[in-house]
Amino acid sequence: MTEIRLHNTKTRRKEVFTPIDPRDVRMYVCGPTVYDRAHLGNARPVLVFDVLYRLLRHAYGPEHVTYVRNFTDVDDKIIRRAEETGREIGAITEETIRWYHEDMEALGTLRPDHEPRATEYIPQMVAMIGDLISKGHAYVAEGHVLFAVESYAGYGALSGRTVDDMIAGARVEVAPYKRNPMDFVLWKPSSPDQPGWDSPWGRGRPGWHIECSAMSYELLGESFDIHGGGNDLMFPHHENEIAQSCCAHPEGDFARVWLHNEMLQVEGKKMSKSLGNFFTVRDLLDQGVPGEVIRFVMLSTHYRKPMDWTAEKAKDAERNLRKWVGIVHLKETSGPPDPRLVEELSNDLNTAGAIAVLHKLASEQDCAGLKNSLEFLGLPTRSEGRWALTSQRVPREVGDQVRGLIEEWRQARSEKNYQRADKIRDGLGAAGISVDYSTNGENWGLTEYFDPAKLEAIQ
Ligand SMILES: [Zn+2]
């Protein structure tokens, strides 16, 4: 088995990945707060961890990997959206979750094994908060429960900051009832018109951070293998998750490996509503950009580098994918991806290197290897729907000519005249004719790049 190496934010090094239990490899990724469509930046971690999920399933077997990604369905932003629109909170969150599934599916991502919703785990959060209070890590103040950051010596270790640095650098919410300005909310009171649950501290709702600690504990245990998310979540969200989980369950390690993806830009600029370059995944899909193109562009940059989305890259991606579909669409095969592709992905998820392998496979005319590798990465392989190559009928004289050339290719091969055989093969490729050579040329068709003049020119 290929050794998988991953860059662990916690140690700031690339490490050999050794699961706690290879029969149950466990990964948790922070999911969306559901009140609006996912923007393009939100899609990046989904795609990065989808590739990691595929790699782990390949390495350990699909039945031995558990991937959890949550939905935050109780949050002040959701409450605000409900107030602004006059709609029910439940209707907003249901609709947004449906959109999220549709949009992420269009990007070719697999569904995680569990998609817990915060509102389904309130009793577990209340229990964890109670436990933190009894262990001296949290305190009650004015109807709130706060985590006392000074009670946990490891606070700040993930992002490499001290509590004093954080106070100096962060926009912390100053509240008179906090013992330390960095103390964060585990539970807060709800007014009668806000969603709330009964608790020992009165009717209220959980803070954001406690969700992930409670749900990962319930579904993956006190120690699990990988925790992922965007690097914008490293502080404070992930620091707070670590503080809560390690204090509530000191017997465990919480997450052993932390992976963070870099952010996304658009045409070299930060995506923002004020710059007018803010768009959702759905906006792009509606403009006719195929989900596989979005996927391909995202994977062409390593996850620890900033990703720049450009229209030019999308055009290039579509051109490459069309070319490859033209090469592989007739190939009936299903097997493992090319080992070089797995090797690249095993090297800290080098998706850019994996795409370079696809280019190599295409130039080597390795139809089976290319098809299996495209499939593995969730990229298109069939001439159908959006990727249908051509609806052109093959004129009889073109058919005769192509069959004649394939016959000549066969002849040249049997005479070991490889120079001649390769010349014909390259000529057919250049003329936009896709041939499955492994069937001895039985299967062939025109791609949308078919050029009769180039066919005539084959000598
Ligand atoms: Zn989280």
Instruction: Output the tens digit of pLDDT for each of the chain's 459 residues.
Output: 789 999 999 999 999 999 999 999 999 999 999 999 999 999 999 999 999 999 999 999 999 999 999 999 999 999 999 999 999 999 999 999 999 999 999 999 999 999 999 999 999 999 999 999 999 999 999 999 999 999 999 999 998 888 787 777 666 667 888 999 899 999 999 999 999 999 999 999 999 999 999 999 999 999 999 999 999 999 999 999 999 999 999 999 999 999 999 999 999 999 888 888 899 999 999 998 999 999 999 999 999 999 999 999 999 999 899 889 888 887 888 899 999 999 999 999 999 999 999 999 998 889 899 999 999 999 999 877 778 776 567 788 888 899 999 999 999 999 999 999 989 988 888 888 888 777 777 778 887 778 888 888 887
Q: Which residues are annotated as a binding site?
A: 30, 212, 237, 241, 273
Task: Tell me if 248 sits within 8 A of 213, measured CB to CB.
Answer: yes
List the one residue out of 227, 222, 224 whose CA is nearest residue 252: 222
Please give the DSSP secondary-structure letter assigned to residue 35.
S
DSSP conformational letter for 170 = S
Compute the distance from residue 236 Cα to the ligand 1 centre, in Å: 10
Task: Please give the DSSP secondary-structure letter assigned to residue 3.
Answer: P
What is the pLDDT, as a whole number, of residue 272?
86
The residues that bridge with 187 in the sheet, in sequence order, are 145, 206
Q: Report CA torsion sign: 162, 166, 168, 169.
A: positive
Ligand 1 mean position, distance from CA 368 (Å): 40
pLDDT at 437: 78
Dist. CA 165–CA 157, nearest whole Å: 12
Three-state secondary structure call for residue 226? strand
Fold adopted by 5-261: Rossmann fold (3.40.50)
State the DSSP code for 229: E
- Summarize pLDDT for 401-438 with one digit per residue, the tens: 999 999 999 999 999 999 999 899 888 888 888 887 77
SS (H, E, C) 124-149: HHHHHHHHHHHCCCEEEECCEEEECH
Residue 37: half-sphere exposure toward Cβ, Cα within 13 Å: 12
**How close is the Cα of 210 to the center of ligand 1, in Å?**
8
The alpha carbon of 429 and the centre of ligand 1 are apart by a number of angstroms equal to 49
Residue 98 Cα to ligand 1 midpoint, Å, equals 20
* 354 token code pair: 């994996």
Question: Distance from the CA of 184 to the center of ligand 1, in angstroms?
Answer: 14
Q: Edge to edge, what strands does the sheet with 254-261 contain?
A: 65-69, 25-29, 223-230, 254-261
Distance 32 CA to ligand 1 centre (A): 9
Report pLDDT for 432: 82
Radius of gyration of the chain, Cα coordinates, nearest whole angstrom: 27
Contact 398, 455 (CB under 8 A): yes
- Which residues participate in the annotated binding site for ATP? 273
Ramachandran assignment for 229, one of left (phi > 0), alpha (psi -120 to 50 degrees), beta (any other): left
Centre of ligand 1 from the C-alpha of residue 71, in Å: 10
Measured in angstroms, how far is the CA atom of residue 38 from the centroid of ligand 1? 17
With contact defined as beta carbons under 8 Å apart, do 295 and 47 qualify?
A: yes
| Residue from 27, 78, 79 nearest 56 by CA | 27
Helices and strands (H, E) in the chain, number of each type: 16, 15
Cβ atoms 309, 40 nearer than 8 A: yes
Q: Look up tokens 């658009």; give the residue.
A: 266
Q: How far is the CA of 137 from the centre of ligand 1 (A)?
A: 20
Q: How far apart are CA 424 and CA 241, in angstroms?
A: 61
Ligand 1 centroid distance, CA of 206 (Å): 13
CA of 355 to the centre of ligand 1 (A): 30
How far away, in angstroms, is 198 Cα from ligand 1 center?
A: 23
Binding-site positions for Zn(2+)? 30, 212, 237, 241
Q: How far apart are CA 24 and CA 423, in angstroms?
A: 51
Domain ranges in the chain? 5-261, 265-387, 396-456
- Cβ neighbors of 30 (< 8 A, separation 6 or more) are 45, 69, 70, 212, 228, 229, 230, 233, 237
CA distance 57 to 53: 6
- The alpha carbon of 37 and the centre of ligand 1 are apart by a number of angstroms equal to 19
Distance (angstroms) between ligand 1 centre and the Cα of 241 equals 7
Helix (H) or strand (E) holding 411: helix 396-414
Give the integer Cα–Cα distance in Å for 325 and 434.
Answer: 9
Kindly report whether the peptide bond that precedes residue 236 is cis, defined as omega within 30 degrees of 0. yes
How far does residue 114's CA lie from ligand 1's centre (Å)? Answer: 14
